[in-house]
Amino acid sequence: MASSGLAVVPNALAYLALLLWLPATVFALKHYPPTKAAVGVYLGGLMFLPQVAEFKLPGLPELHKEHLIGLYLLAGLYFVHRRVLRERIPGGRLGGPLMALIVVGWLLTGQLNGDPLRFGPNTRPGLSMYDGLHEALQSVLEFGIPFYLGRVLIRSREDLRLLLKYMAGAGVIYSLFALWEIRMSPQLHANFYGVHPNEFTTVRRYGGWRPLLFMDSGIAVGQFFMMCMLAAAVLRKVRIPTGRFSSRVVLGYLFIIMVVVKSTAAIIYGVVFFGVMKVFKPKNQGRFAVVVCLVLAAYPLIRVVDVFPYEVVLKELYAWNPERAWSMEYRFRNEDNLVDRAMERPVFGWGTYGRNRIFDMRTGQDISATDGYWIIALGSQGLLGLYACLLMLIYPVLKVGWRISRIGDPEDRVLMAGLCLLVAARAIDLIPNGWYTSFPLFLAGSLYSLYPGLIASPGATFSPPSSSSDQHVFRT
């Protein structure tokens, strides 16, 4: 089924859904404990709100579903559970300085890129202070608010258990829609909201359909199910039941779903990180997560100084799968060109309007392809913006992962090591793929706030799950 002939503008229901999510958020916060309500609202909005609809207000960035989810939760918490926002947040002041660095970086990027760029008949406009401010505000919405919400909402072992159970439950619920699209083709977003979330050319894999659901792409769907599967694996390690189903059943089911959605990268990450979780103790799981995050941090610098031996990788890959090797070679060659372009303005980048891309000087045609988040951020924000953004995601893992053994309770160690692996699994995918969702920043903020409390009470044990924390796992 091709997408030709379909509307390219979302229908009225898409905008109505975005608007009605505000009263739904307030209702949930009034009738449920704040953590339970907020996690349910966040995951529910991420799964079912329209991907392509957005509100454009004068002087503000375009507000899409994840921006609105965060803003609605902040507003709802302020009016319904203000004490949650007023309580002291443990774990230091990481988010504020890094967010300030991102904001200042964007403002300077806007100031230093006022020159228009001409590529034959194609002109890329210069930036202004307004453009820098626009991108700075968008970064606050995409980075600052999710990280802050994770910090204020997930502060105890009970909160962490609830978060993981809701993630596993969300995966089970979403799988029903994924199975429908695998059988019938990815049409749900178009049926409900009038438009496909992405080009329809990417939804055929291995002789079948790859679901899009209400997310940006099949890759994003695969990453979501991979994270839900790993959450279920953590629960299985400590024998915490997942609602009405045993953790063993939920884990096995979500593992199968992760495979049948046909996202190769998600399957590889899921198998590797699940294997680490099964084989290693929490201490070494945390260290593995640290190493993964260090690989992410090092990769852009390795590419900048041009010491990555990708010719060796390609040689082995051509012997195994020539088609995949050709695709990988194209990606590496393209990255080489984009890195060279980025290094013309290495600190603050080229900014927006496609100024970081490569164009044919005669025809003006865009001849570059940007896949991985790191190369997009490097070109548009420079090294300063790239590493400020990456650190918001990976610094909590770097801090906690190497210190898992300092957590006194054995089950706490399992859960915290599992959370480190969850964040690391999503972080490493920023090398080949895009950002897609800010939910991993919510997890990173949670990780950063949880650690001080768990080492402060080393003799504490898990309290048994209460009925109030379990009974709504598959209903929210």
Does 233 have pLDDT greater than 60?
yes
Cβ neighbours of 421 (radius 10 Å): 28
Instruction: Report CA torsion sign: 264, 265, 267, 272.
Output: positive
pLDDT of residue 474: 31
Give the model's confidence band at 320: pLDDT under 50 very low, under 70 low, under 90 confident, else very high: confident
Does 89 have pLDDT greater than 80?
no
Nearest-angstrom CA–CA distance, 359 and 337:
11
pLDDT of residue 201: 67
Q: What percentage of the chain exceeds 70 in pLDDT?
A: 93
Nearest-angstrom CA–CA distance, 79 and 30:
10
pLDDT of residue 464: 36
Give the model's confidence band at 408: pLDDT under 50 very low, under 70 low, under 90 confident, else very high: confident
Residue with tokens 């079948």: 208
| pTM attached to this predicted model | 0.91
What is the chain's length?
A: 476
The pair of structure tokens assigned to 230 is 């790993």
pLDDT of residue 473: 35
Give the model's confidence band at 162: pLDDT under 50 very low, under 70 low, under 90 confident, else very high: very high
pLDDT of residue 4: 37
Contact 370, 376 (CB under 8 A): yes
The average pLDDT across 135-160 equals 95
Q: What percentage of the chain exceeds 90 in pLDDT?
A: 76
Count CA atoms closer than 13 A to 420's CA, side-chain side. 32
The average pLDDT across 406-417 equals 93
Give the model's confidence band at 365: pLDDT under 50 very low, under 70 low, under 90 confident, else very high: very high
Flag the least confident range among 14-28, 203-217, 381-395, 426-440: 203-217
Mean pLDDT of the chain: 90
Closest CA to 444 of 406, 409, 399, 405: 399
The average pLDDT across 375-387 equals 97
| Residue 452: burial class (beta carbons within 10 Å; 0-12, 13-18, 19+) | middle
Beta-strand pair 208-209/204-205: antiparallel
Give the model's confidence band at 456: pLDDT under 50 very low, under 70 low, under 90 confident, else very high: low
Does 7 have pLDDT greater than 60?
no
The average pLDDT across 191-218 equals 85
Give the model's confidence band at 465: pLDDT under 50 very low, under 70 low, under 90 confident, else very high: very low
Give the model's confidence band at 113: pLDDT under 50 very low, under 70 low, under 90 confident, else very high: very high
Does 443 have pLDDT greater than 70?
yes
Does 200 have pLDDT greater than 90?
no
Count CA atoms closer than 13 A to 187's CA, side-chain side. 8
Give the model's confidence band at 308: pLDDT under 50 very low, under 70 low, under 90 confident, else very high: confident
Give the model's confidence band at 475: pLDDT under 50 very low, under 70 low, under 90 confident, else very high: very low
The residues, any chain, with a CB within 8 Å of residue 57's CB and separated by 6 or more, are: 63
